[in-house]
Amino acid sequence: MATKVLVVDDSAMSRKMMIRALPEGWDVEVSQAANGKEALEAYHAGKAEVMFLDLTMPVMDGYQTLEVLQKEGLDCFVIVVSADVQPEAEARVKKLGAMAFIKKPVNTEKVTEILKEYGIL
Amino acid sequence: MSISFRTVSHLNEDQRDALAEIVNIGMGQAGAALAQVLGEFVILSVPRIRLVDSQAVPETLAELVGAETTVSAIRQPFHNHLHGEAIVVYDEHGCRDLADIMGHDECTDERVEQELLLDIGNILAGASLKGVAEQLQAEITFSPPSILATHVPVERLLDPEALDWSYSLLIEVNFTLEARRFKGHLLIMLSEDSIDTLVQDIDAFLESL
């Protein structure tokens, strides 16, 4: 069965780049969200087994989204994809339950490496 | 000039979105550089983009920066492929916080204060613009930063008559230190003759995706 992937970013271009960076041949059903609020709605609707989550977003940012997910008992594999490359940003999101951190701009090699590392691919 | 204006008024949704994301990645690198120098966690804003008539620059600055306190600012012109000014604006807390973090007692010594503003401004402007230029595969060169003004009302920061262009593309991002009141705004003002170039660069970037 196709893996349900949710791509969360306020930039449409950035979502497009992320979707294009998904490994070829990976059987996925992709949904998109433009902020944390939309992401949680999609997550509650069962559209997120794997979530690629941006941090700096209007309405609800990535940190706030992770906090809510953590409180609810995170049932989703979250990979943060961010332009915020402070080491502390990575440490914080991992504390909030994110499994991995990818620096923007994304590339297929890095995404593949992480998915393989965690046995998703 | 009318040609440029037409192009810009048509800066479409995709181009605007791409520009914001390109700036976002550039400022991410600047934020990390700032975090390293200050040893503090930096919170980044979502970029704001405006097309501004030079006469309207003072009120736009007041809108973007907030007019509550007096501000100090540095400017760093850039040229080559793109031409304009990077301006870093600090509010009064910003100055005091910087002095404190760097181990100075107070922001009383004018020379020390100006050095701090220049050093931090140089990091923010330089790293952000370098990040933007890299993504667009453009060459940008910088003039050294200089003090624009200290402790003035935000509306008085820039005199429209002193600007080299009649309108510009203004991009604002801000950096906040989580544990303090520090807030620094980076404003990138792109001259009117560079706007077309930027739009072409963005189109090329979008096409390459």
pLDDT in the model for residue A61: 96
pLDDT in the model for residue B161: 86
A86 CB neighbours in chain B (<8 A) are 31-32, 35, 41-42
Split at pLDDT 50, 70, 90, the class of B4 is very low
By C-alpha distance, which of A68, A57, A118 is closest to A96?
A68
Q: Is the pLDDT of residue B1 over 50?
A: no
Express each pLDDT in B148-157 by its tens digit: 999 999 999 9
pLDDT in the model for residue B134: 92
Expressed in angstroms, the distance from the first to the final Cα of chain A is: 13
List the domain boundaries for chain A: 3-117
Sequential DSSP letters for A65-98: HHHHHHHT---SEEEEEES---HHHHHHHHHTT-
> To the nearest whole number, what is the mean pLDDT of chain B?
88
pLDDT in the model for residue A9: 97
Tokens read off for A42: 């999609």
Across the interface, whether the CB atoms of A14 and B41 are under 8 A apart is answered: no
Smallest Cβ distance to A83: which of B13, B25, B206?
B25
Tokens read off for A34: 């433009």
By the CB < 8 Å criterion, does A35 face chain B?
no
Could you tell me which residues are beta bridge partners of residue B140?
A: B80
Q: Is the pLDDT of residue A27 over 50?
A: yes
For the segment B8-24, the average pLDDT, to the nearest whole number, is 86
Taking one residue from A and the other from B, the number of pairs with CB-CB distance under 8 angstroms is 55
pLDDT in the model for residue B7: 44
For the segment A102-106, the average pLDDT, to the nearest whole number, is 94
Could you tell me which residues are beta bridge partners of residue B192?
A: none
Split at pLDDT 50, 70, 90, the class of B176 is very high
By C-alpha distance, which of B129, B139, B189 is closest to B164?
B189
Could you tell me which residues are beta bridge partners of residue A4?
A: A29
pLDDT in the model for residue B11: 82
Smallest Cβ distance to A105: which of B13, B25, B46?
B25
CA dihedral A109, A113, A115, A120 (to 10 degrees): 120
Across the interface, whether the CB atoms of A20 and B41 are under 8 A apart is answered: no
B45 CB neighbours in chain A (<8 A) are 56
Residue A120: Cβ within 10 Å count: 15
Express each pLDDT in A48-89 by its tens digit: 999 999 999 999 999 999 999 999 998 999 999 999 999 999
By C-alpha distance, which of B197, B73, B50 is closest to B138?
B197
Split at pLDDT 50, 70, 90, the class of A104 is very high
For the segment B192-204, the average pLDDT, to the nearest whole number, is 92
Residue B12: partners with Cβ closer than 8 Å, 6 or more residues away: none
What is the ipTM metric for this complex? 0.88
Report which of residues B114 and A33 the model is more confident about: A33
By C-alpha distance, which of A94, A71, A98 is closest to A8?
A98
Q: Is the pLDDT of residue B6 over 70?
A: no
Q: Percent of chain A having pLDDT more than 70?
A: 100
Instruction: Please answer whether residues B117 and B95 qualify as being in contact, where contact means their C-beta atoms are separated by less than 8 angstroms.
Output: yes
How far is residue B44's CA from residue B31's CA, in Å, rounded to a whole number?
A: 7
Instruction: Please answer whether residues B23 and B128 qualify as being in contact, where contact means their C-beta atoms are separated by less than 8 angstroms.
Output: yes
Express each pLDDT in B68-117 by its tens digit: 789 999 999 999 999 999 999 998 888 788 888 887 766 567 888 889 89
Where does A3-117 sit in CATH, by number?
Answer: 3.40.50.2300
pLDDT in the model for residue B9: 56
Backbone angles phi, psi at B77, to 5 degrees: -70, 150
pLDDT in the model for residue A23: 96
Burial A75-107 (b: 16+ CB within 10 A, else e): ebbbbbbbbbbbeebbebbeebbbbbbbbbbbe
Where does B2-204 sit in CATH, by number?
Answer: 3.40.1550.10
By the CB < 8 Å criterion, does A107 face chain B?
no
Q: Is the pLDDT of residue B179 over 90?
A: no
pLDDT in the model for residue B112: 82
Instruction: Please answer whether residues B89 and B185 qualify as being in contact, where contact means their C-beta atoms are separated by less than 8 angstroms.
Output: yes
Q: If DSSP codes are grouped into helix, strand and coil, which group holds residue B176?
A: strand
Smallest CA–CA distance from B15 into chain A, residue: A13
